[in-house]
Chains A and B, each alone.
Chain A
Amino acid sequence: MNRLISILFLLVMCVLAQADQLTIGSVSEQIRQAEYLHEEARIVDHGWVITRKLIEQAKAALADDQLISADELSKLALRTAQASVDQSIRQEEVWRARIPSS
């Protein structure tokens, strides 16, 4: 029983510690990075719809003081934005392979 209480206590502490580390500034920075990468992809016509949606949702969550939710959404946005940039770089290298040979 004592062990269970200890584990629960540790879990609660972990969650609280994580929440402590999250700040409006850190989440805002993640959103800013996602926006930057999304724009990088957009410039070369490789923007993804999902990234824009996630950025908007992260901003809305942040404005609503839902820091944990905003953090998760901005991380997802960052991941999809990075994937879209990676896609644009990869396609630059391989697109010609799809042309039927003359």
Chain B
Amino acid sequence: MIRRVACLVGLLVGLGSASADPESDRQALARYFEQRFPDVEVVAHIDGAYALNEQTREQWLAMEDFPPYEFSVDDGEVLFNTSFEDGSGYQDCFDDGNVKARFPYFDLEKQTVVTLELAINDCRAASGEEPLAYNGEDIALLSAYMAFASRDSLIDIEVPGEGLSAYEAGKQYYYSRRGQLNFSCSQCHMLMSGMKLRAETLSATIGQVTHWPVYRFKWQEIGPLHRRFVECNEQVGAEGLDYQSETYRNLEYFLTYMSQGLPLNGPASRK
């Protein structure tokens, strides 16, 4: 009898940990990084690797005096304020553009994760406009402007019951090894965070989504988070997926919840 009860308790505990709620996940992850980097406040991770390396941080801060994404924000503002053919515009969907803190969200009607980029195209479709290419310049510029307009807002997204499977799918993606090198996202950005991979310091999971889109010197232009996902995948020998694919949207959903409550600081510049 005792053995049976013990088995039942064990099973319930096991199930509990297997389907931990997003807030428990977030708190556990925050504790992980607090222990890993006791001298770095959790909120400081919004600066990515520059929160972990004093020398590169100084160089980066000097670079931020004349940020390379400045023109992208200006161009994005022009696009944002340009009316559609039917007279409506982005303001009708996103007010003044300060909306990024609530993205991505789980759309109960569509039963899918809606990112800011997806919402931009939904907004266009509602006015009879052609969708923008997710790997194109215009959508990066628009989201750069909206990220700038949303600066300092705290990430405030929800994971409703119906959105849990999307959240879990994103979480599974993050913790699964893939590619010929057999690496998971978590290996680089948890276990090896703060360490060097060639000349680069690896950033922490927390704060990874707060500063997108990003002007990367490697790209010589501003680009979206999903472009970085593709790059990460290919760096470990895995095939990158389509921008705004369901898998990447779920991954963004999980990562954003892990940064819940942190201030937005996009767009940003990175090497």
Contact = CB atoms under 8 A, between A and B. Distances in A.
Interface of A: 42, 45-50, 52, 80, 83, 87, 91-92, 95-96, 98-102
A40 to B, nearest CB: 13
Contact of A102 (B28, B172, B182, B239): B28
B237 interface: yes
Contact of B18 (A45, A83, A96, A100): A96
Interface stretch (B19-27, B65-73, B123-131): B19-27
Interface in B162-180: 171-173, 175-180
B234 A49 contact: yes
B238 A102 contact: no
B25 A98 contact: no
Contacts of B186: 98
User: Which of the listed residues B29, B179, B186 has the most CB atoms from chain A within 10 Å of its own CB?
Assistant: B179
Contact of B237 (A42, A50, A100): A50
A49 B24 contact: no
Interface string B219-257: 000000000000000100111010000010000000000
A83 B238 CA distance: 12
A100 B28 contact: yes
Interface string B175-204: 111111010101100100000000000000
B32 interface: yes
A26 B27 CA distance: 55
User: Which of the listed residues B17, B18, B175 has the most CB atoms from chain A within 10 Å of its own CB?
Assistant: B175
Given A48-B180, A101-B28, A102-B24, A96 B237 contact: no
Contacts of A99: 20, 25, 28, 171, 175
B247 A102 contact: no
A87 B237 CA distance: 13
Contacts of A46: 178, 238
A95 to B, nearest CB: 4
B32 A100 contact: yes
Given A91-B176, A98-B175, A101-B28, 5 more contacts: A47-B239, A49-B239, A91-B178, A95-B172, A99-B171
Contact of A47 (B28, B190, B238): B238
Nearest to B16: A102
28 contacts: A42-B239, A45-B178, A45-B247, A46-B178, A48-B180, A48-B237, A48-B238, A49-B234, A49-B237, A49-B238, A49-B239, A50-B237, A52-B239, A80-B180, A91-B176, A92-B176, A95-B172, A95-B177, A95-B184, A98-B190, A99-B20, A99-B28, A99-B171, A100-B32, A102-B17, A102-B24, A102-B25, A102-B28
